[in-house]
Structure 1
Amino acid sequence: MRLKKVEIQGFKSFADKTTIEITDGTTAIVGPNGSGKSNIADAIRWVLGEQSVKNLRGNKMEDVIFAGTSKRRALGYSEVTIAFDNKDGEIPLEYAEIEITRRMFRSGESEYYINKNSCRLKDIRELFMDTGIGKDGYSIIGQGRIDEILSNRPEDRRNIFEEAAGIVKYKTRKVEAERKLEKTQGNLLRIKDIIYELTNRLDSLEIEANKASIFTELYNKLKKLEINIYLKDIRKIEGQIKEISAEKEDLEKKLSAKLEEKIEIEGKFNILKLEIEELDNSIEISRNNNLSLTKELENNQNQLKIIEEKEKYYNRDLERLIEEKELLERRIREFEATRLKIQADISVASKEYDKILDDFDKKSIELEISQKKLKEIEKDIDTEKNNMIRIYNNSSDKKSELNSIISFNENVEKRIGQLKKDIEFMNTRRKESLEKHNDYTKSEDDINTELSNLKDRLKKFKDEEVKYNDSLNQVNEMFNRNNVKLQTKLSSLKILRNMENDYEGYFKGVKSVLKQSKENPRLNRGFIGIVADLIKVDEKFERAIEISLGSNIQNVVTKTEEDAKNIIEYLRDNKLGRVTCLPLNVIKGNTIEIDPKDKEVFNIYGLGYELIKFSKEYDGIFKFLLGRTIIIENMDYGIKFANKYNHSYRIVTLLGEVLNPGGSITGGSYGDSGISIISRRSKIEKLNKEIEEIKNSQVKLEGEKAAYIEELVALRKETIETEEMIKEKEYRLIELKNLKESNSLELERLDKFV
């Protein structure tokens, strides 16, 4: 087993990835003070699991990570890998070569790998136990280590001998086994305590178990008794149902007789009702005129309030936009300053790069000149050597000429042998240099390919960043538009709710009843509500129904005549106005029948009573109010239908024109800017729905916005990482080019020698 190579990246002074190949024999690392020789030994100690910062010559563990220089930023991690030749199988793993890697980040996290498989520090320590290679082994002898061993206590020195003897692993396992035994003994004591406690509770648990079984038995008996009682009650109820059925038949007979009387009374009532309707029509005309004037006044007041609210909102929006403009201008100025600073930095870096490139070219030329001079000097030395040999041979004594010739021949043969070895060595060197040259060329091509891929990847990230920025801007724009809509609708809703809470548009008497019914229990007892509160109308028929009801829309619905009397007396005594009351127990109405063919021919939608939604208990009220009013498409169809039936029905168009029985027609401008009591409530419901939709849309847009921002942050991170990788590849490419050029010069020298 021997150490083959050490790879260091980001460890102390080794910012770039550095590989140190360890060949057979002795490998020595030389260099001036502070060049990082000791850092290599520290790196080997660190990768083998050294946890002591003091032994690594630092203050904290983060000091082992390259801290940066004035021209180079600090790195985020350090990594060291050492490789061992394990052909002899001394390390107990089935690999011919074993690589140990340790990586540490600035956050303090460490990662350990054996042959690129993640492992624990404990695994690495156990792997090298008894090999002498561990962090405390005798294979790494640092400065002052020998003195420390000699001066140590016998107990401490014993650890080194145990490591050499190969028994540390077993001692470690023994200590661990003893620790587990102690823990197991503690667990056994705890189990005995638990058994003792449970034994003490055994008697009480048996008593409780007996109680539980008795309870279960009694509960089952109770269940059977309850079922018998339920069966008895069912039989009793069935008998009562039979008695009630018999009573029901008697009551139905009596009800039939009463219904016949009712029909007779309704006939008389209808005759009186027709007379009352004629009087109501004349009253309604005058009330409608009064209502139109009141509505026009209220609409004008409402419009004024809406305009005032809009003015406040626009002023607030203007202030917000001014603040946003100032903020954006400040940010533009900051970005401009940053851009100028970056441009200045780029200019300085470019100048420094050009200067370094010029120095590099000059040094290369000087190197070539030096190599040429060296070759000439070597040639002169060879010439001088030959001259000296020739002079030596000529000056030899003639008596030893034969011996000299023999010696000379031997020397020549030796020289020829040496030259052959040199040529063979040079050819080997040349072959190695050619292999290196090919390796450098291949690495250069690979890096160029990776660099091209990284640049394509960077372009893709930047294109995606532009796309996400555009999408984010669109979402922001939509979000701001929705905000404006939301504020406008909230303002309108607020105005409408204020009008509703203040009972604007109601008659004085109705307004008084609505307010006092909340405070006066006597009034509230029989008060149900006003007609407008009890119906829901489709938006299409709102105007027609409102015109059909006229002032009746504000009629007060009570439970009984007595309740109506209490309300009217209260208003009279307190001089709070007048109202019309509709007692629920008295008011009854009937409807007219429309021929289905007429519905198709004259575009009749139906009776007003059929086009509204209300609770069944108010059926009589709305039959009375809208049971004889026909809702039709327009005035042309209305006139044709009225002529056919000799103006016998009350007809209302969708636009609010009224064709009265007898032939009179009411219509004209309605005041589109106004909001009626019915339309105001539907408008509030509609605004609530729209506001909810906008809020949901805003929540969705917020989610999209957050997702785009998250994507942009991730893309920016990827872009920065890719740019860093491109820089590293470019530096590596320059380094390879330098190595390739040096290797080419070496090849030329070897070719000339051979």
Structure 2
Amino acid sequence: MHIKSIIIEGFKSYAQRTEINGFDPLFNAITGLNGSGKSNILDSICFLLGISNLTQVRASNLQDLVYKNGQAGITKATVSITFDNSNKSQSPLGFETHDEITITRQVVIGGRNKYLINGVNANNTRVQDLFCSVGLNVNNPHFLIMQGRITKVLNMKPPEILAMIEEAAGTRMYECKKISAQKTIEKKEAKLKEIQTILDEEITPTMQKLKEERSSYLEYQKLMREIQHLSRLYVAWLFVCAEETKLKSAEDLKVMQDNITQMQACMAENESKVQELTAQIQELQKKRDQEVCGVLKSLEEALSEVQRVDAKAQSALDMKKQNLKDETKKRKELVKSMEEDKKMLVVKEKEVSKLMEQLQAVQEDGQKESSALEAAEQHFRAVSAGLSTNEDGEEATLAGQMMACKNDMSKADTEAKQAQMTLKHAQAELKTKQAEVKKMDSGYKKDQDAFQAVRSSREKLQAELAKLNYEGEESLLDKRRQLSREVSQLKETYESLMSRFPNLRFDYKDPERGWDRSRVKGLLANLITVNDVSYATGLEVVAGGRLYNIVVDTEVTGKKLLEKGELKRRYTIIPLNKISARTLNQNVVATAKSLVGENNVHTALSLVGYEADLRKAMEYVFGSTLVCDTLDNAKKVAFDKRVMTKTVTLGGDIFDPQGTLSGGARSQSASVLSSLQELREVRDNLNNKEAQLQETERQLASLKGTAEKYRQLKQQYELKVEEEQILQTKLQQSSFHQQQEELERLRKAIEESEETLRNTKDVQKRAEEKYKVLENKMKNAEAEREKELKAAQQKLNAAKAKADAFNKKLKEKQQESDAVALELEELRREQATYEQQIQAVDEAMKSIQEQIDSMACTVSQNKHLINISVTFFLLSFFFQVSRMLEEHDWIQLERHLFGQPNTAYDFKANSPREAGQRLKKLEETTTKLERNVNKRAMNMLNEAEERYNDLMKKKRIVENDKSKILQTIEELDQKKNEALNMAWQKVNKDFGSIFSTLLPGANARLAPPQGCGVLEGLEFKVALGNTWKENLTELSGGQRSLVALSLILAMLLFKPAPIYILDEVDAALDLSHTQNIGQMLRTHFRHSQFVVVSLKDGMFTNANVLFKTKFVDGMSTVTRSL
């Protein structure tokens, strides 16, 4: 089988359809300039053979194989090769009848591959199988020697060269399969270990446990059968006893009723007979109780216990009522005493107040007298020391006072002279300035008049602006801007809060024109307020999904809303006129509060605020639930027999007497009701701000007419203000104005100087008069001193006497005040004591009243229980027989056997009492066993045993397969070594022969490295003449290339293929070696077709057919030369 012709169209550089005919069956050469497309012919052959590694055809994807990647209008690449199949010994399997085989492969851009075999569609696998059957495996192409293959062989290490021999011998695939099998064995080994682990750790312990449980279950079944037998015996005996007792009780009851009637008739005269009959009744009851196995006795004991509890509760109630009466009387006495003490306290407080005022007055007088006494003592000491009192009240000597007078006179004289000088200077300058001012008075007066006229106009405009009140409009504009900002911020806050709870948003369209929106009350969550946020979570749990129900006035409104309101989601409607609600009884609430405390439990309805007309809806949602503060209190209240009401804790845990308990970790986010408070505050604030904004807009609209007038007046006013400022500045900067200011300054200086002169004259006059008086005193100093000393002594004595009298009076008043204050403090303490006692009595009365209420409720319930117990006591015998017949349908069928000898119900052979005791023990035993017995143990054990047997079977299969695989591997290893040795010898022989042909006088062989065997690797050994080289580095580059090429060709000879493709294998050789290659191919490969690409004459001169490629107008062309 060899290539006969090739047709290429749209493949790489061959844009147009190119037919290459006339291939020689043995040696074909292709030559041409670089880039002319000669290697593309080889790529087209590989492409048709179905190559999957596109790098060997120098492409990254299939699109690269199309001419210019499909950008030149050519969108598909097609290669068609016709093979000569006349040699039937090399024919592919299934094609022996065909002399020619035409195979076509086509790839379309964006499409798929298409194969044709003799014009018939085929898949990739079928094409590869066809070529593999003749030794052309394109994905392991030993028949393809591309550029660089020689260099790669030269760089191979001994194990890699050995791998080439293995590949040629066909043992390489076995080695791969062997490695894969060993990995599979390792996986299976791991699986075996896993199976063993499962057996040891899971299945075996489980089977052991199930066997034990099976034993327990069999024992349990045995006990159940015995219980069934004993139960029937015991129930039959009870039925017989009950039936007999029923008949006897009816007769006894009738007799007792007759006796009671007779006794009531003659009770007054026959008391002893009543006692006798009572004793007889008790004896009959005792006998009857014995006959029904204590059933009646238990009922009597229950009735007696209830009566005893009732009597105890009644006694406690009477005692509490008496305690309450005593506490009430005690409180009245305490209140009376406290009122009397209050009156006395008021009197004493007035008396103390009066005494305190008197004491304060005496203390003030005493302070005055003390001050007078101190002043008298000081004056006496000063006079004794020779001092006298000056005008300031200070003590000083006469000489000192005279010296001070002289200093004052001197100082006043100096100040008078300075003031006189200043006065003369100011008066002279004033006259000069006044003359200058008169000259410039006319110009300034004109400016002054203009300034006054402008000011008058400005004031007039200012008055007109004030009348317009436009400043109010400006303040309104500022207010509107501020309110707009606040409204925008509140809307954002409101929308943000609403986005967190979208279920709180309820919008609808009016169902009809003129719709009254007050008929729809809104979302229930928006209609309630929670005063205490701590209850929010509990109330939210109480309401549940009803929190998002819609409240309307009637069912008609609800129907219209659902049909035409265009609601955005499903809602539940609560019509106020139809909803029926259930609320808790006040006695139940009072009992709950008595159990856990007044402030620890509340009705859910009392914790929410709402409008009065919404009461029925609120009762429907919150009316039947209690809210407790803790889990323990909620549990205590919910399951108490007197309450038995659904209870919720503050954290949202639910206790339901019907058997439901829910709770656990709650969401950490805020509850809806707690967030609703914030949402409601924001909404109210938003509504308030929007109302303010509307009012501001209305006021602005009313002031809009004055705006234009105000702007005109404002413009005129600003002009006048500016003109006034300019004139004022001009006046202030004028010389006349400055002169006027200077004149004013001089006038003030003159006035100040004249005032100073007057003051200094007065000072001099007073100092001279005082000096004369002191001078006279100085002359009569001794007499004056005696006189002053005597007067000071008298004054001192009088002050002492007066101070002593006041101190005595003050002490008396102080003692009197202290006594009254003590009495007042004592009264206040008594008052506080009375208040504490009254408070304690009130608390005690409140506690007693609560206990009385609770006990009254208990007494009422006990009386009810007594009535029920008596009724049940009378009817129990009649119902017992009927109940047993209903519960045990087998009684009716086997009733005739009860008590009969030699039957299962022989009461003499089998003691019913012992059977009852044995039955009780067995029931206790089975109750304990039921907790642990596994009723599915039998089935589970069977399943476990099946699983165990299945695993053991699989384990044995895996172990057998493992031993067979290991045995096969051992046998194949031996055959592989034999095949490998044969291949080595054959390749070695051809290797030396080919190398001697390529390089005459030289020899080459493959030998294992020193100290190693053939199976460990092979390396090149080359001899030039008779000298064997140690390694290839001693050879030239061309010689090394010949060594590698010789090995490759020797490998080809070992397992010949019908076609060989060589791509520029002579690139590194000189011309003489190239000619030798051509000769070698002709002599050694007589049964294979070679397609060789070369640029050297030495190669293609030996070829039978030569094809030349050219590159014309951007496309490759091919011509045949020989």
Same fold (TM over 0.5): no
- The TM-score bracket by the shorter chain reads under 0.3
TM-score of the aligned structures, taking structure 2 as reference length: 0.20
Q: Which structure's CA Rg is the greater one?
A: 2
Higher relative contact order (CA 8 A, sep 6+): 2
